[in-house]
Amino acid sequence: MRRNNGARRGTSLLPLLCCLLCSVCFALPTTDVAAASAKSETAPSTLYVKGAPMAPGAITVHPAGQTSNSLDDYDDAADDEVIADPLEPWNRFWFRFNNFFYLHVAKPAYQGYAAITPPQLRSGFSNFFHNLWFPVRFVNNILQFRLFEAGVEFGRFFINTTTTLGFANIARDKKTIVPVDPSGEDFGQTLGRWGIGHGFYIVWPFIGPSSPRDTLGRIGDLFADPFFYVSPWELATGSEMYLRFNDLGELLPLYEDMRRAAVDPYIAMRQAYVNYRRVQVNR
């Protein structure tokens, strides 16, 4: 009880800050996001506009018949970030374990669940779970000094909660002063923006790809996770596991496509994870 009271006192000013941010972000004229981004010096997010034009020299054209005699250029791809993998035997073991679990346990279970659960209900629970994780996104926007993004997150949370208790994402199509990525911010991204690197690659059972930085980030996010304060813990854990299971419909097809296309699925997963997190940190 002492911890909860302290948290309430520590966050007593947050509603005032939230209201100010929300009013600023939603009260300003709803100009076109792509046009606003074009006026700024930073590149717009590819989630809202088509990709920015390539820089001069990004593509090199060789005359017919003249090609490079070396394949070493592939090792220096600018878009690929290299991560140390000193625990590769451990990681490959848990990668195989997770692969078996996803395809032979989780996938059949989800297919049975989807067969008896209406898609509208699954979508509603997915929206509810995303709305429930608002504190994680909000706190990490504040920690990254993204105050306008924090205001947008609060505004969306307020609209969705007061209208449908979060079961419908009504605020999704509302124009905002700044674009906000739907996946939001987490503490691992915050650590990355503070200049902390991954360290090395590690695969955890059930969780999947990670690193010391992102593992610490998951622990940090627990303190902003509403389920962390639900008692008894069995109810909190069971509820969050169900909501994560409900979201497997979007994750499993992506995992299967990557696995089928890769020569070595382990290497493909490792590189995809590192590149994805790099994009999230740098956006």
Q: What pLDDT, on the 0 to 100 scale, is given for residue 173? A: 79
Q: What is the pLDDT of residue 186?
A: 95
Q: Rounded mean pLDDT of 241-257?
A: 93
Is 124:232 a contact under the CB 8 Å cutoff? no
Residue-wise pLDDT for 55-76, tens only, equals 444 444 444 444 334 334 444 4
Q: Which residues pair with 210 in a beta bridge?
A: 202
Tokens 């006026």: give the residue: 39
Contact call for residues 126 and 247 (beta carbons, < 8 A): yes
Q: What does the alpha-carbon distance between residue 225 and residue 228 come to, in Å, rounded to a whole number?
A: 6
Whether 200 contacts 215, CB under 8 Å: no
pLDDT at 182: 81
- Helix axes 119-132 and 233-246, enclosed angle (nearest 10): 120
Number of neighbouring beta carbons within 10 Å of residue 224: 17
Q: Tokens representing 172?
A: 């999704």
Contact between 213 and 188 (Cβ < 8 Å): yes
* DSSP string for residues in 234-263: HHHHHHHHHHHHHTHHHHHHHHHHHHHH-S
Write down the pLDDT at residue 94: 97
User: What was the pLDDT predicted at 12?
Assistant: 47
Lowest mean pLDDT segment, chosen from 28-42, 122-136, 177-191, 201-215: 28-42
Q: Which residues pair with 203 in a beta bridge?
A: 209
* pLDDT digits 0-9 by tens, 11-59: 444 444 444 444 444 444 444 434 434 444 444 433 333 444 444 444 4
The predicted pLDDT at position 79 comes to 56
Residue appearing with tokens 């992506």: 254
